[in-house]
C-alpha cells in the first residue's frame, strides 16, 4: 500500500467548510463523514479531514489555534499547470476564501499562489517544471 496523507483541520462550521472544499474540487467521502467530520478527497493519496472543534479536541489536549490570527502549518498541494494554479485560486475566491494573502511567487520554472480557507488555514497551490528546475540546479 502506498503512503497516504490525511490533513486534519479544525473547522467552526462543518457544512460551510465542506461546501468550500467541494468548490475547490475535492469530493466528500460519505463513508468517513458524519455530523462531526467531513472526509474530503483530493486524490487517492491526499485527504483533508474537516473536524468540528469538539471532534478535533478528541485527538489533542492542546488548545485549538485561531488560524485567522496565528499560523502553525502551511499546506501545499501541486497543480498540473500554471493555469490550474490560477483556476484553483479562482474557485477558492468564488467559494469565499481569501486569495493571495501574500503575493504570488513566479520563478519561471515554479509558480505558486495561496489562499486561506474560511477558518484561516493557508493553502499554497504550486506548479513546477521539474525538468527546468533540475537543469537550473546543474
pLDDT one-digit tens code per residue, 56-107? 999 999 999 999 999 989 999 999 999 999 999 999 999 999 999 999 999 9
**The Cα angle at residue 112 between residues 83 and 76, in degrees rounded to 5:** 110
What is the helix (H) or strand (E) element at residue 69, kind and residue range?
A: none
**Alpha-carbon gap, residue 138 to 20, rounded angstroms:** 41
Contact 95, 19 (CB under 8 A): yes
Take residue 33 and report the three cell numbers written for it.
Answer: 463523514
CB 120 within 8 A of CB 64: no
Q: Which domains are seen in the chain, by residue range?
A: 1-63 (3.10.180.10), 65-138 (3.10.180.10)
> The C-alpha cell of 104 is what?
504570488
Q: Residue 53: phi, psi to the nearest 5? A: -60, -40
Is the predicted pLDDT of residue 138 greater than 80, yes or no? Answer: no
Averaged pLDDT of the chain: 94
The tens digit of pLDDT for each residue in 3-58 reads 999 999 999 999 999 999 999 999 999 999 999 999 999 999 999 999 999 999 99
pTM attached to this predicted model? 0.89
Environment class of 17 (CB within 10 Å of its CB; exposed 0-12, middle 13-18, buried 19+):
buried
Amino acid at each position: 500500500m502506498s503512503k497516504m496523507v490525511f490533513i486534519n483541520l479544525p473547522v467552526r462550521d462543518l457544512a460551510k467548510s465542506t461546501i468550500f472544499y467541494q468548490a475547490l474540487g475535492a469530493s466528500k467521502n460519505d463513508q468517513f463523514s458524519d455530523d462531526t467530520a467531513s472526509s474530503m478527497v483530493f486524490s487517492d493519496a491526499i485527504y483533508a479531514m474537516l473536524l468540528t472543534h469538539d471532534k478535533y479536541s478528541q485527538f489533542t489536549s492542546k488548545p485549538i489555534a485561531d488560524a485567522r490570527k496565528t499560523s502553525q502549518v502551511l499546506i501545499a498541494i501541486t497543480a498540473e499547470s500554471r493555469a490550474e494554479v490560477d483556476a484553483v485560486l479562482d474557485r477558492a475566491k468564488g467559494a469565499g476564501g481569501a486569495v493571495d494573502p501574500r503575493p504570488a511567487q513566479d520563478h519561471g520554472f515554479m509558480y505558486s499562489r495561496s489562499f486561506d480557507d474560511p477558518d484561516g488555514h493557508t493553502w499554497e497551490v504550486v506548479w513546477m517544471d521539474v525538468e527546468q528546475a533540475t537543469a537550473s540546479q546543474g
